[in-house]
Amino acid sequence: MEGSAPSKPRHIALLTEYDGSAFYGWQTQARGRTVQQVLIASLQELTGENDFHLVGSSRTDSGVHARGHVSHFQTASRIPADRLPLALNTHLPPDLAVLAACDVEADFHARYHALGKKYAYRIWNLDSRPAIDRQRVCHVAGQLDLDQMRQAMPHLIGRHDFRAFMDTGSCDRNPVRTIWSLSLSVAGPLLTLQIEGDGFLYHMVRIIAGTLLWVALGKIKPDSIPEIIRSGDRKLAGKTMPPQGLCLEHVYYDPPLFENYFSRMAEKGEDYVQFKME
């Protein structure tokens, strides 16, 4: 009697969201709990397979959050991709969730095929510090000149050598990156910087946020940004902001991945209803 043919390996991409507060970053390491380790453990429990090579689109640092992190792996499991999120989430802790999954081609690579990323950095600008959102925003007290910040922002757009906005310890040999867009939204005391680009150096988003903060505090002139970029001198840029304000929002691919998920989120929009006693 012939044995059954082995299942053909499948290649799966995952869209995940996590609160980075209790993680030592995404990538597996010896000194603490990481997103990659927890995801691999859940995949092993679900499928019974022991040899998982999970590759991530971004190695977020300790304390950094993500709403749209992408990773990929190979498996012999026959669980349909649309059922994987629910199945995996029963094995995951509350601070990590799989939002969507899809089958991808065998040569897909979550990191090397990424065309760009969108990050958000959130600042709570009020004298009193936040309690509920303390792990999701960076608290900055005092008055900020947001007009000065807005004047500085266009100087960062485009393709530049961003070594002045890179901390030591980076593995990137080429410091040239392209920033596609940079925006600032204000909702009461909550300031949200959103930045999109083809890639980011070590701590680059946090340093850009710190530099714009220094502009808003009057420590750096808006029109000095081009000279800081040309100098390549890290000491001339602003400080590296704390990790808890940073969130990876979206990773871009061609063809797009998980557009159905993001479209559904956009369609939900916001519906505000208020009832008052007469």
Which residues are designated catalytic? Answer: 61
Question: Cis (ω within 30 of 0) for the bond into 94?
Answer: no
Count CB atoms within 10 A of the CB of residue 131.
6
Q: Taking the CA atoms of 52, 57, 62 and 67 in sequence, report the sign of the dihedral they define.
A: negative
